C-alpha cells in the first residue's frame, strides 16, 4: 500500500491537474501540478509515483531559500490562502508547485497551449456567451415580474 494519499484533485484544464497529497508516514502535505486527468491519478500505480514528491527536510534549510514576489489582487490572494488552509497546504507550497511545473521542460508544450492566445480567446468567447445567456434570462425574469406586477395592479383597481 502506498504511503502517499491523494486528499484533493482539482482539474485546472483538460490536461492540467492540481493534486494535494499527504504522507501517511509524517503527515506532510504538498501540492503537485500534473499533466494528467483525474481518472489517471486515481489509479494506484499512478499514486505510487508520488513517493518522492513531498519536500524533504533538507530542502527547507535556509541555504536553499529564495524570495519570490508575486503581484496578486488581494481578494484573489485571500481566497487562495483560505483554500490552501482548507486542503492542508500553505500558499507558498501552491506557488512552489506552479513554479516546479513551469520549470519542467516536459511541460512546456502544455504550458504554451494553456497560455496560448487562442485558448484564452476561446475562454473569453465562452464567458461572453454565458453572460449573454444570463442577460437573456434576466430580461425574461424582468418581463415576468412586470407582467405579474401589472396583473396585481389590475386586480386591485378593477
Q: Are 88 and 20 in contact (CB under 8 A)?
A: yes
Along the chain (158 residues), what's the average pLDDT of each consecutive run of 10 residues? 73 79 82 74 60 47 67 90 91 87 84 78 85 89 79 70
**pLDDT score recorded for residue 25:** 80
pLDDT at 2: 56
Looking at the whole model, is its pTM more than 0.75?
no
Structural domain spans, the chain: 4-105, 116-158
pLDDT the model gives residue 79: 92
DSSP 52: G
Q: Which whole-number Å values give the CA distances from 20 to 2, 94, 96, 106, 121, in the listed order?
A: 15, 9, 13, 21, 30
How is residue 53 annotated by DSSP? T
Q: What is the pLDDT of residue 61?
A: 46
Within 8 A by CB and 6+ apart from 154, the residues are: none
Q: pLDDT value at position 57?
A: 44
Amino acid at each position: 500500500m502506498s504511503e502517499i494519499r491523494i486528499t484533493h484533485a482539482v482539474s485546472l484544464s483538460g490536461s492540467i491537474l492540481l493534486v494535494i497529497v499527504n504522507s501517511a508516514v509524517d503527515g506532510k502535505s504538498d501540492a503537485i501540478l500534473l499533466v494528467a486527468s483525474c481518472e489517471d491519478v486515481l489509479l494506484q500505480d499512478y499514486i505510487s509515483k508520488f513517493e518522492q514528491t513531498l519536500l524533504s527536510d533538507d530542502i527547507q534549510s535556509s541555504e536553499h531559500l529564495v524570495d519570490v514576489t508575486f503581484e496578486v489582487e488581494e481578494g484573489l490572494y485571500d481566497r487562495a490562502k483560505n483554500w490552501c488552509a482548507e486542503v492542508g497546504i500553505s500558499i507558498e507550497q501552491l506557488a512552489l508547485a506552479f513554479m516546479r511545473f513551469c520549470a519542467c521542460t516536459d511541460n512546456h508544450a502544455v504550458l504554451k497551449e494553456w497560455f496560448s492566445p487562442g485558448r484564452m480567446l476561446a475562454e473569453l468567447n465562452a464567458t461572453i456567451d454565458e453572460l449573454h445567456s444570463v442577460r437573456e434570462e434576466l430580461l425574461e425574469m424582468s418581463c415576468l415580474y412586470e407582467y405579474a406586477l401589472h396583473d396585481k395592479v389590475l386586480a386591485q383597481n378593477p
